[in-house]
Structure 1
Amino acid sequence: MKNAKRFSTLFFAVIAILFSMETKAQEQTKQSEYLNHWRIGFGLNGGIPVKESYNFSLGADARLQYDFTTKTSLAATTGYTHLFSAGDDAGFIPAKLGFKAFLGNQFYVLGEAGGAFGTTKELGNSFLWTPGIGVATKHIDVSLRYENYNDYDTGQISLRLAYGFQL
């Protein structure tokens, strides 16, 4: 009986806290004018290639973003990605331009296209296109994307974890 009373007290305290948090989350300040601004983010990437010639990928990137409105942005991304295999590895520097559209306050879709410039011997350059989805907060950005390298005859599904801030 004593444990049941403690449990019910704890239960109602948790419900009260959650209810007050939800109520507070409903308050919004109306923004009369949206000011265009720049953001920059630095991310770490890990991926699984879709072809059997590579085992996994690791990379790092930097993304410069210009916000047109609170829901639309232009993005420029570059960095380094390394595809690991039992045989010859592949490394490249991607350079992409893209468009990001928010579907709510934090969820977004992103489409990028550009080039992948090979850094390992005989790799060459390739056209690169990347659709993705993600969640962005004030500083944290987590996205899942598919990258296709036309001339490398491979692609990957990659997870990006980034930290960003307004410039």
Structure 2
Amino acid sequence: MKNTLKISALALAFAGLAFGAKAQTTTPTTTSTTTKDGIRYSIGVDAGIALGDFKDNYKWNLGGSVQADIPVLSNQLFVTVNAGYNNVFAKNDIPSNPTDFHLIPVKAGLKYFPIENFYVQGEAGAAFLLNKSDVGANKSTAFVWAPQVGVQFPVSANGNFIDAGIRYEATTKFASNFDQSKVNLIGIRVAYGF
């Protein structure tokens, strides 16, 4: 099962790269929120709160991410590639005094605009735990998935935009026998795009 998830994430990433290579040869129908080649880039701030068993030891997260949206179907369907850094802050009032989680999530997925400026997005990939020994984990990598909804609207005539979304993000376990090592967050991403 674990290998199936990893293989699925890799297949999704490779499919995204293949679609991206094909999409770069097409011309978008509008250029109000895309670059000359149709790709949208954004740099954002990520924040959220812990959910489920994970919230017993952790409060909230803060981080940043970069994302590329590669057009597949005009300006309605995009393949996304996203990488970032998240610090999930531990609760200080717990006797065991857990350590913050330091994660680098790398994801690929799809972003679909059913109506102008409103999108639904789904991504999956791998989350890399940078401080495995500090948090008592026996794995440094876990499968991550993140469904998201949001709005994207132009802020200038040259194609710059704001992308604001709310998402649920979860991973598989970083410690084999410890359910609280599954990272579960509900968060927001506010990004500036160009």
TM-score by length of 2: 0.66
Runs of 4+ in 1 over 3 A off after TM superposition: none
Q: Does 1:71 align with 2:85?
A: no
Q: Quote the Cα distance in structure 1 between the aligned partners of 2:169 and 2:81.
A: 15
2:116 maps to what in 1? 105
- Note the C-alpha offset of 1:98: 0.8
Note the aligned Cα RMSD (angstroms). Answer: 1.7
1:34 maps to what in 2? 29
Q: Does 1:125 align with 2:120?
A: no
- Note the C-alpha offset of 1:163: 0.2
1:26 maps to what in 2? none
1:134 maps to what in 2? 150
2:100 maps to what in 1? 89
Higher relative contact order (CA 8 A, sep 6+): 2
- Note the C-alpha offset of 1:48: 0.2
- Note the C-alpha offset of 1:103: 1.7
- Note the C-alpha offset of 1:53: 1.7
Deviations 1:120-165 (A, max 9, x none): 1334111000001000012100000000011231310011100001
Q: Quote the Cα distance in structure 2 between the aligned partners of 1:97 and 1:116.
A: 12
1:146 maps to what in 2? 168
Which sections of structure 1, spanning at least 5 residues, go unmatched? 1-32
SS in 1 for 2:58: coil
Q: Quote the Cα distance in structure 2 between the aligned partners of 1:154 and 1:141.
A: 24
Larger Rg belongs to: 1
Letter in 2 for 1:154: V
Aligned residues: 134
Q: Quote the Cα distance in structure 2 between the aligned partners of 1:34 and 1:92.
A: 37
Q: Quote the Cα distance in structure 2 between the aligned partners of 1:121 and 1:114.
A: 18
Which sections of structure 2, spanning at least 5 residues, go unmatched? 1-27, 31-36, 93-97, 155-160, 174-180
1:43 maps to what in 2? 44
Letter in 1 for 2:112: A
- Note the C-alpha offset of 1:64: 0.9
Q: Quote the Cα distance in structure 2 between the aligned partners of 1:115 and 1:53.
A: 22
